[in-house]
Chain A
Amino acid sequence: MTRSPADSLELARRHAGLSPAELWMRTFELGGMSTSLEVDAYLHGALEPTAHEYDVLVHALNERFVELGGDHPVPYSDDDVT
């Protein structure tokens, strides 16, 4: 089943145990430029982030998964590019 990027982000967020605002704070710490409302909108598929903002979000999630003992399970926007 093909999942939209927003669905993937939202599922990852919930499995990482991050609230939307905590996710926003982590993207802010990583240099992200999106507001908390924009991050919320990305997670609901109501707004599409730029590739850069998407990757910042994904990296915030992946750093959280590393904290939890995992690797980087969420793919970045350029992961298919060799």
Chain B
Amino acid sequence: MITEPLSDFGIAVRFDEGFPVLYVTGDVDLCTAPALEAVVAGLHGSSHHEIVLDLGGLQFIDGRGLSVIARSASTLRSVGGRLTLRAPNALTRRLLDLTGVGEGLRIEPAKPGDDLIGAIAAAAQIPANQDVVRTALLLVVALAEAMVDGADAVTLSLAPRGPLDDVVAVDPAIAVLDQAQYAVGEGPCLAAAEGAVRFHIAATAREDRWPTFMPLARARGVNSMLSTPVRGTAGAVGALNMYSFRDDAFSDGDLGTAELLARGAADVLHRSASDTSTAALEARVRDAVAARHTIALAQGILMGRQGLSADDAYTALRRESERTSRTLSDVAAAVAASARGGVHDDPVAG
């Protein structure tokens, strides 16, 4: 039986001007929603009736999590209090709207750029081909260049399934610096991706790590750099790299914005999930249509031979698939073949 939680779930409670703020990270689902409800109930029991749920770190929420939000909001309202949701991403916001849980709730806007990141991530939903995903990632890079004052150029270096070998950049001239790191096997973007930690180089002239790469960066006029890991579900899948021609170009705020944008890039990659090219996707859809046709044909044969309804015929195919551990498609193909061969003994019992 499947029972254990599948994600890094966490709640951090801080007090902001006397009001509790719950920073929720990871997934709120069947396994973790009771813990969230218990924390909210504990605060309510301690006479805190104005509670903020900061959902900026929320990766996923299911029906159980939405129910906890709805119940908590109702409980607080009944004593004249309020539950506020802060910074839900665009997909969470959509769920709140679709289910009606968001109705009557105070929802504070996300940090600047969050809605845009969410919109970009939502635009790359599967089934999508690599062109759509790449376009969405280019938008993240362009957004980074627009939002981070210190950045003169931004790249995204990716390795969804292996060593870094793909660079997304608006300016191909700066992409050369990422590629140089791959070539020499060292550099902050490689280090950020491998170690899943951020590297901030305030001045390349004073940096003695990466002795082969740093002179290359300085030769191109790069004086400060910021590499932020793009974290997938099983570790970093790349790095968001910002280059500046000035020393000490990146403020603390820029570091936070880079984290936000790296999370957006991770969302795009996570939601795309498939690396199917356009041609491969077309082939898959073609095969799927053919499989459906064979299954429908087999249903029809069983309906005719055994007097079954369409659903019962499908159930017969499904049970045979389960019994023999063959795919349903293979079972259907055998039924179809039996009809073509004039065989009258059904490979599937009704």
Contact = CB atoms under 8 A, between A and B. Distances in A.
Interface of A: 3-4, 6-7, 10-12, 14-15, 19, 21-22, 25, 28-31, 36, 43-46, 52, 55-56, 59, 62-63, 66, 71-73, 76, 78
Interface in B1-34: 2, 6, 29-30
Given A19-B271, A22-B274, A59-B321, 16 more contacts: A4-B63, A7-B62, A10-B62, A21-B125, A29-B291, A30-B292, A30-B328, A43-B62, A44-B66, A44-B99, A46-B63, A46-B98, A46-B99, A62-B322, A63-B327, A78-B315
Contacts of B93: none
Contact of A28 (B2, B292, B329): B292
Interface in B91-124: 95, 98-99
Contacts of A19: 126, 271, 273-274
Query: Which size bracket describes the interface of B in this complex?
Result: 35 or more
B282 to A, nearest CB: 13
Contacts of A21: 125-127, 273-274
11 contacts: A10-B30, A12-B2, A15-B2, A21-B126, A22-B126, A22-B273, A30-B295, A30-B329, A44-B63, A44-B66, A55-B315
Interface string B273-307: 11000000000100110011001100100000000
B200 interface: no
A73 B3 CA distance: 13
Contacts of A6: 62-63
B63 A7 contact: yes
A14 B292 contact: no
B243 interface: no
Contacts of A66: 325
B288 A28 contact: yes
A44 B299 CA distance: 30
Contacts of A59: 318, 321-322, 328
Nearest to B31: A11
B6 A14 contact: yes
Contacts of A11: 2, 30
A11 B29 CA distance: 9
Contacts of B322: 59, 62, 72
Interface in B308-350: 311, 314-315, 318, 321-322, 325, 327-329
- Mostly, the A contact residues are helix
A6 B99 CA distance: 15
Contacts of A3: 30
B318 A55 contact: yes
Contacts of B98: 46
A72 B318 CA distance: 11
B59 to A, nearest CB: 12
A11 to B, nearest CB: 5
B128 to A, nearest CB: 8
A30 B62 CA distance: 26
Given A11-B2, A44-B63, A29 B329 contact: yes
